Amino acid sequence: MSGRGGGNPSGGGPAPHVPVLLAEVLAALKPRDGETYLDGTFGAGGYTRGILAAADCKVIALDRDPNAIRDGQAMVAEFGGRLTLIETPFSEMEEAVAQSGGFASEVESGPREANPTQQKTALLDGIVLDIGVSSMQLDQAERGFSFRFAGPLDMRMAQDGESAADLVNTRSEAELADIFYHYGEERLARSIARAIVHDRKDKPFETTKDLADLIGRIVHSKPGDIHPATRSFQALRIAVNDELNELANALHAAERLLKPGGRLVVVSFHSLEDRIVKVFLAARSGRGGGSRHAPVQGVEAPTFRLETRGAITATDEECRANPRARSAKLRAGIRTDAPALRPDAQVIELARLPDQPARKGGKRR
């Protein structure tokens, strides 16, 4: 998504909507004439525009934010017939591709256990995902993503369902502590949760300032450190939007949608997201699990091959021009002709809080 993530994923002032690692994304995706690609995080359309400009191809672009869909209609008209824009989370990309129609290349899908309701799936030549919050969302005070702007404590990408205020004002102290610790890696998670539960008895939390002020009383920072509320706001945003489970579901869906030789490109902005992508690609390429002392038994054929072993990061020049690129990591895989596998248990485990029930097929039951 154009301008997503960066060094301060939960705050920061306005910034240009510059697609992070655009050249590297296009190099990994290798758009070609006549092919069909999916941009799972449309945003301001930075990656989509780059793909459409690179080749005479088609793009199915998704976004769960209705504002992005509304603002993207001009681009749909501009590329007449080559861009299909759909309002949906990227975890539902299989349904979105089926909805878009017009793709004749279909084969039987992978194991029925992996996707029992899907009998056939349209094949794509490439999928790109840019994980996290967009600069547009951060820069709109009324969306409630940033502690640097006075606004409602909202954080909902899709603008429906439970808001951050709902979560903060209703969850137990233990639940809040788990969210702050596991999703935000906040070492003072228990102290913050305890203070929230205490203070909300007198007045519920309604604004970003309400919560940021409370966290600032507990988390003390030195000059040059990130804002005290950064990790906690990140954690709430992930919880409100179920971001890690969305990512796990999307990775498995991409495996089912990509045809042999199709390319999966994922840009992430913090360690939780990157860990899930890294583990998924390692497992699916045959590089994950086991050791020379305890090798994996009955290894299935790899569904992806990797061109590079590590993540690709932004150049110093891009980081200077766009600070939000500092923490970006790009990982990519090329689909083999092996059948899609069952959802990876370790990926699903990484995406949920420790006390959350397991999800069949990576999806919430």
In the chain, domain spans: 22-135+243-362, 151-241
In terms of Cβ atoms closer than 10 Å to its own Cβ (0-12, 13-18, 19+), residue 108 is exposed
pLDDT at 338 over 90: yes
Do 22-135+243-362 and 151-241 come out as alike in CATH topology?
no
Q: Does domain 151-241 have CATH number 1.10.150.170?
A: yes
pLDDT at 197 over 60: yes
302 CB contacts (<8 Å, ≥6 apart)?
284, 285, 286, 336, 338
pLDDT band at 72 (very low <50, low <70, confident <90, very high): very high
pLDDT at res. 9: 37
Lowest model confidence (mean pLDDT) among 27-41, 96-110, 189-203: 96-110
More confident residue, 218 or 134: 218
CA 139, CA 329: separation in Å to the nearest integer?
22
pLDDT at 42 over 70: yes
Angle among Cα 45, 145, 137 to the nearest 5 degrees reads 15
User: What secondary structure, in 3-state letters, does the chain show?
Assistant: CCCCCCCCCCCCCCCCCCCCCHHHHHHHHCCCCCCEEEECCCCCCHHHHHHHHHCCCEEEEEECCHHHHHHCHHHHHHCCCCEEEEECCHHHHHHHHHHHCCCCCEEECCCCCCCCCCCEEECEEEEEEECCCCHHHHHCHHHCCCCCCCCECCCCCCCCCCCHHHHHHHCCHHHHHHHHHHHHCCCCHHHHHHHHHHHCCCCCCCEHHHHHHHHHHHCCCCCCCCCCCHHHHHHHHHHHHCHHHHHHHHHHHHHHHEEEEEEEEEEECCHHHHHHHHHHHHHHCCCCCCCCCCCCCCCCCCCEECCCCCCEECCHHHHHHCHHHCCCEEEEEEECCCCCCCCCHHHHHHCCCCCCCCCHHHCCC
More confident residue, 81 or 363: 81
Of the spans 5-14, 101-110, 221-230, 321-330, which averages the highest pLDDT? 321-330
CATH superfamily, with its number, for domain 22-135+243-362: Vaccinia Virus protein VP39 (3.40.50.150)
- 355 and 178 in contact (C-beta within 8 Å)? yes
pLDDT at res. 133: 60
- 231 and 338 in contact (C-beta within 8 Å)? no
pLDDT band at 105 (very low <50, low <70, confident <90, very high): very low
